Amino acid sequence: MAAPVAAAEAFPSVVPQAASAPAAVACRNVTVRFITDRRTVTALENVSFAVERGGFLSLLGPSGCGKSTLLRVVADLVSPTSGAVSVLGLSPQEARLKRSLGFVFQDAALLPWRTALQNVELPLEVGGAKALPAGAPTPRELLKLVGLEGWEGSYPHELSGGMRQRVSIARALLGGPRLLLMDEPFGALDEITRDRLNEELRRIWQETGTTIMFVTHSVYEALFLGEQVLVLAANPGRVTELVDVGLPRDRTLKIRETQPFVEIAANLRDLLGRGA
């Protein structure tokens, strides 16, 4: 594994925030209704929660409970029907325009004719931001951070699914975003690769200090990754409970065999069942 870049110099956003700094994300009574010709869907109803800066929130719930919609509200891709959303103390639109957000999707969505390095550089070209903010890590440093030093010149078809997803994480981290939104990024990967990337993501989170919101269907993934788990129920999409995980900050996959992990996982499964 490549040595990580020094987080403090690479990610100026890691500099500790004043105690009074607003939450990374705060939603109050957020409702989203989609009205189509055929039906009206309440994707989210009165959803309230907050994520502190530098936090890691897993969003766990059954299909259709509004997990992706919630990420899209935070990313300014969907406007709430009612309720208030604050992202780093700004509106989602202001946060987006300030390039405070990175987004990773289930599909790595790399351009096949560009190398790994050129894919990471892409937002610089299409986003209109000609230069990186002072002190932000370079595309090469980001590839090193995600364990792809030496693969800069490889094309997507020469990389495994896990490596492609690492490239997309590096791309999302370009510019040192203070908030990383991840929508089932490892859902399509085999179990071993997924496990490895789970450990990698915890390390990247600790090194960068970036706040993360991570969508998953998996109880184990939600619990291993998150400092908090927001459990959602469907029809309408709503919060069942916000669970503080309370597991040690330094985690390896071994933690999944410990008693506290097993007990919290059982509790999360109960909560999921309650909302079914």
Ligand X SMILES: Nc1ncnc2c1ncn2[C@@H]1O[C@H](COP(=O)(O)OP(=O)(O)OP(=O)(O)O)[C@@H](O)[C@H]1O
For ligand X, which is the closer residue by CB, 143 or 232? Answer: 232
Stretch that binds ligand X, among 60-68, 116-124, 130-138, 238-246 (CB under 6 A): 60-68
Query: How far apart, in whole angstroms, are the C-alpha atoms of residue 189 and residue 211?
Result: 23
Min. distance of Cβ 65 from ligand X in angstroms?
A: 4
For ligand X, which is the closer residue by CB, 45 or 141? Answer: 45
Query: How far apart, in whole angstroms, are the C-alpha atoms of residue 186 and residue 198?
Result: 8
Show the 3-state SS of 37-61: CCCEEEEEEEEEEEECCCCEEEEEC
Stretch that binds ligand X, among 36-44, 124-132, 197-205, 222-230 (CB under 6 A): 36-44
Stretch that binds ligand X, among 20-28, 34-42, 93-101, 155-163 (CB under 6 A): 34-42
Q: Is 68 in the site for ligand X (CB under 6 A)?
A: yes
Min. distance of Cβ 49 from ligand X in angstroms?
A: 15
Q: Which of 24, 43, 101, 213 is the binder for ligand X (CB under 6 A)? A: 43
Ramachandran area for residue 209 (φ above 0: left; ψ -120 to 50: alpha; else beta): left
Q: Which of 63, 112, 254, 257 is the binder for ligand X (CB under 6 A)? A: 63
Total of chain residues touching ligand X, rule CB under 6 A: 13
Site residues for ligand X, 69-98, by CB under 6 A, read 69
Query: How far apart, in whole angstroms, are the C-alpha atoms of residue 100 and residue 12?
Result: 12
Q: Which residues pair with 179 in a beta bridge?
A: 101, 211
Nearest to 49 by CA among 78, 18, 28: 28
| Token pair in block for residue 187 | 């859902």
Which residues of this chain interact with ligand X, rule CB under 6 A?
A: 34, 36, 41, 43, 61, 63-69, 237
